[in-house]
Every structure is written in C-alpha cells, then in structure tokens.
Structure 1
C-alpha cells in the first residue's frame, strides 16, 4: 500500500498532450500573482526613492536660488550706494542673464542625464529580472518535462499492474465460487463455504481498491471519464437501495428510500453516480451500529437535484467535516472512518458533473452526506 500511495503522491506534472491539472494551474496562477506583486512593490519603492531624490535636488536648487538672490540684492544695494555708472550696472545685468542661462542649461543637462541614468537602470533591472524569470520558467518546464515522463511511466505501470491483478483476482474469485458450488453438505463442506465466501469478500475489496487507485490516477492526470445524459434519479436511488438491502439487513439495519415522486430527471453519468451512492451507503453501513437506520433521499432544489444519505451512526466532528473529502484522510488511528479514497473520488466525480458535495453531522448522532447534480428537463 505504501508503494501505491507513493505512486499517487509522487510526480503530478501533466504530459504535454494531456489536459493540465488544477495543481499546475494553481501553481502558474500563484507564480503570476507573486510576480505582479513583486513588480508593483518594486515600482512603488523605486518611485518613492526617485521622488525623495528629486525633492532633495529641488530643495538644494531652491536654497541656491535664494542665496543667489540675496547676494545679488546686496550687490545692487552696494552699487546704488556707490552711485556706479549706468554702464557698469548694465554690464552686471548682462552677466547675470548669461549666468542664469548657463545655470538653466546646466540644470537641464543634469536633469536629462539623471533621466537617462534612471531609464538605463530601469532597463538593466528589467532585463535582469526577465533573465532570472526566464531561467526560472525554463527550469520549471524542464522539471515538468521530467515529471511528465515519470508520470507516463507510472500510468503505464499502473495500467499493466491493474490489468494483471484483476486477471488474477478474477481467477481467485472463480475458484472460490467453484469451491462454494462443489462443497459437500457436511460440516467440512460448511467450513469450505465460509472460507470461500471470505476469499470472495477479500477479492471484491481488492478489486475495488484497484479501481480506486486507477480513478485517482485518472483524476490527477485530468482524465476522469464522465459522460452525462438525462437520467432518472429516482430509478437510480431505487436501484442502489435494492443492491445494498441485503448488506444492510445482514447487519440488522433499516435501509429505505425517501422519494416523493415517480420520476426526477437529472444530467449524470449513471455508473459514476452509482459509484458515489455506493460509497456513501458502504460507509453508512460500516459505521452504523446494529439496529440503526439509513435513509437515502433525492429531491429537486431549484435548478438542481439533491441526493442525501443519512445514518444514525457515530457521526463526524464539525472540525473534520471538510477534511473527510481529502485524499488518504483519517481522523485518528483509532477511528477508521475516512480511510481510503472513496470520498475523495466521490468529490471529484460530483464536481466533474458540475455539482457540489458536503457533509453534515447531527447533534443527536449520525451523519448526512449530500451532493447535487444539474437538473434536466424533458424535451417538449
């Protein structure tokens, strides 16, 4: 089991010819958002630094201009007191015009040089940032390509192993059936029937586990097969109850369907939704003590059809209601509810139909599991 879990928990990158998985999409989206945030923060910091630098320059220039005005005013006052000739005053005025023009040119040149330097730094930093990100992207693509190869090898391995295992299990189940059929009526024959029945039970469980592992591999690869069409949800519920009635009765449980009409159309894949209901009922039967009650209900809710399976078992704590649909989830070592992949696969199946899935735990004990499917209207 640890090896199979490693295969499923391992490399998850999608081959180029396959549909990208949600994990990869979330990673790419998170990377884009982080880069946008970095660019925004860097731009704000750069603008703040430049604004502060400009303020310092403007303050220095304003101080210099003020000092120059004071100096010129003192010079004018001194010339006035000395009754300098008009020619000297005109000469001073011309010098001041030339000084002002030279100062303005120097400041304009300095401003242009500063803008050029800032633009050059921006281009250099942007180029460096693009290079670093391109390197990161290339490394990510390389890792994904390697993961794609490993995933393809894993899928091939799972496909071959599952086929061989199911062939062997089929042979074991057939031999067990032959033992049951050929067993004598004496005490030894009865023991043979019981042992053969246990073998059939274990092979069925192993076959379900193999199916779950294949489903999880398909889900992780974005290739879960779901073919929806208008189907009768009432008939599906009755079929499910009929299938599980012997198992419920054997444990002393009451199993019934609560339906208020003869037909209710929804769009779904019959076998896949039967798989979801079978998982819900299997858990309910497993965790409901003898003498308990299990009910399955289906009803229209606005534009959807809602299914529910309620039991009078031990229930699930409120803090764990969201986690029970996680892969390989379990509450405690002493509480085996949630072991396996059934609820995780059920969640993926329902969501692939465009529906919702959730669970509730009642204060008087027991749990209720719900899921919705898109409704379907009859033509005409």
Structure 2
C-alpha cells in the first residue's frame, strides 16, 4: 500500500521566512549595539588609562625631581661638612696658637705682678700709716685745742657771770629796773648762751671722734621733764609763750644718763621757744611705749617743710638759712645722745601748724620692774 506525504502549505513557508528575516535583523541590531558599546567601553578605558598614565608620569617626574634635589642637597651637605671640617681644623690650630700665646702672656704678667705687688702694697701701707698718723695727730691737736679753749672760756665766763651777779645784787638793793640791773641780767643771759655754744662745740668734737660719753643709770623721766619745764618757764613767759608738762603718770622710771637727757630736753625746748611766736603753746610729754620711754616736745611754731624733716638733724643745718639763731648743732647733738642710748629721734610737722620732736629711750621700767627694784 502506498502512503502519500502531504506538501507544506505556502503560508507556513512564508511565516518561517519572515521569522528568519526578523531574527537576522535582530541579530544584526544586537551586533551593532554590542559593537557600539564595546567601542565606547574601549574608548573610556583608553581615556582612563591615559589619565592614569599622565598622573603616574607626573608623580614619577616629581619623585625624580625630588630625588635629584635630594642628591644635590646631599652633595652640598657633604661639601659644607668637608669645608667645615677644614675650617675647624684651621680654627683649632689658630686657637691653640692663641691659647699658647695667652698662657705665656699671663705667666709673664703674673711674674711681673708678683714682683710689683709687694712693693706697691708696702708703699700703700706706708702712705696709709702716714695719713692715719697725721689724722690722729690733727684730731688730738684739735681736741687739745678745744679742751684748752673751752677751759679758758669757761673760766672767763665764770668771772663774767660772777661779776654780773655782784652787779645785780648791788642794783637790786636800789632798783631792780635800774640800768645796772638790766645790764647784769643781759650779761648773764649772754654768758649762758656762750656757755651752751662752748659745750656744743666740745660735744661735737667728742661725737666726731667717737668719744661721746654716756653713763646710763636709773632715773625718773617725770622729774626730768618737770625740772626742764620749770627751768625754761621764765624764758617762755618773757616771750608770752605757755609751756607745760603733759604726763599721764606720776613716775616714769627708766635707765638713762641724767645729764645727757637733760641736755636733749633742753635743746628741744629751747628750739621750741626760739621758733614759737608770742601767744603760742609748748607741751612736753612723757609716757611708756612698751619697753621704751617716749618723750615729745610740741610747739605751735611755723612748722618745718616735709622735705626738710630729715635734714634738721644734720650738723650745722638750719631751717631758716637767713635767720641764724645758733650754730645748728643742737639737734645733731640730740640725735647723737639719743642714739648713744640705743634710741631713735624724729620730727613730725605741718607748715603753719607747728612741729613735734619725738625720741625714745630703751629701758623703761614698768610697775613690776619697780617692785623688783624696791625689793
């Protein structure tokens, strides 16, 4: 039996052909797109590679440049080190020569000085000894001269004062206000002033030679202040000045030289009377300040400028240069006497209101000290 195979229909063939053509077209499009993408990727890779190569090349060039500069610096450093080494060798050599010369010069100078110094020292010692001897002789002659002059002047003053007292006694029997009585009073006043000047000059000489004598002993500052005020009361009243002691206690025992402290108080009170106008007031105070005795003399005089408060204690110095009322030795002597007792002295003042002079003396005795002394 024979089997017949049926032939494909034309429509199917057409469809297969159409599908094949579309597949080919799609394959070509994909191939084209793949080619474009690959081309673009290759270009990007090439560009990236070129940029990377450029960066690497610049970095390599910079590194090479630094290496070359480092090599040059190293070469320069080696050259400097070599030059410095050479210079150091030269300097060490020159320094060694200079040190050797300096050592020789020093040795020579030392040798010369070792010979000259004893000669110069001996010459200087002889000169100093001669000058010291001359100075001691001059001081001794001055002291002898002052001693003789003061002794003779005191003798003359004693005769003058005695004659004035006799004249005053004769005149008092007739008339105290007679011319002889007034003259006798004036003579005694001038004689007392001259005696004080002589004593001041002798004291200054003793102070300058370091021979100011003080003999501290137990005494009562209260009695000393009262005695001083009473002594100068007539002179103060004559000038219309009120003077009074201001003491809180009836006794102020302390260790001091009675005569020297009286001299200090007298100088301070005399200065206060001298510079206080009529109608003024002077106060002499005494009190204990711890273990010290504090004494002050206040006045209502013209006062002292603040820049002169330290100067008033200098020798021959006076506040009013045109108004010379003495030698300017009183406060200098006061300072020396107070310091010889271990105390201190100073002044406080306001121009137009008056001045206050203070001094302290160590060794004030309290109540317990007085009881122990009494026992």
TM-score, length of structure 2 as denominator length = 0.68
Match of 1:298 in 2: 286
5+ long unaligned stretches in structure 1:
1-60, 69-102
Residue 113 of structure 1, CA deviation: 6.9
Choose 172-181 or 123-132, whichever is displaced more: 123-132
| Corresponding position: 1:260 with 2:214 | no
Match of 2:70 in 1: none
On the 8 A contact 2:306/2:350 being kept in 1, the answer is no
Q: Counterpart of 2:178 in 1: which secondary structure? A: helix
Residue 232 of structure 1, CA deviation: 1.8
Q: 1:67 to 1:229 in 2, by over 3 A?
A: closer
What is the aligned counterpart of 1:355 among 318, 343, 351?
A: 343
What is the aligned counterpart of 1:227 among 200, 204, 215?
A: 215
What is the aligned counterpart of 1:320 among 285, 290, 308?
A: 308
Choose 344-353 or 299-308, whichever is displaced more: 299-308
Match of 1:150 in 2: 138
On the 8 A contact 1:241/1:255 being kept in 2, the answer is yes
5+ long unaligned stretches in structure 2:
1-83
CA distance in 2, matches of 1:169, 1:177: 12
On the 8 A contact 2:305/2:351 being kept in 1, the answer is no
Equivalent residues in 2 for 1:334-353, closer than 5 Å: 334-336=322-324, 339-353=327-341
Q: Deviations over 1:310-342 (max 9, x none)?
A: 000111111211111111112344333674311
Residue 120 of structure 1, CA deviation: 4.2
On the 8 A contact 2:292/2:360 being kept in 1, the answer is yes
CA distance in 1, matches of 2:326, 2:311: 9
Say what the alpha-carbon RMSD is for the aligned residues: 3.1
On the 8 A contact 1:280/1:309 being kept in 2, the answer is yes
Count of equivalent residues: 286
Equivalent residues in 2 for 1:179-328, closer than 5 Å: 179-183=167-171, 190-328=178-316
Match of 1:9 in 2: none
CA distance in 2, matches of 1:140, 1:329: 32
Q: 1:66 to 1:196 in 2, by over 3 A?
A: closer
Match of 2:360 in 1: 372
CA distance in 1, matches of 2:350, 2:107: 65
CA distance in 2, matches of 1:301, 1:137: 50
TM-score, length of structure 1 as denominator length = 0.67
CA distance in 2, matches of 1:127, 1:312: 70
Residue 135 of structure 1, CA deviation: 3.2
Residue 216 of structure 1, CA deviation: 1.0
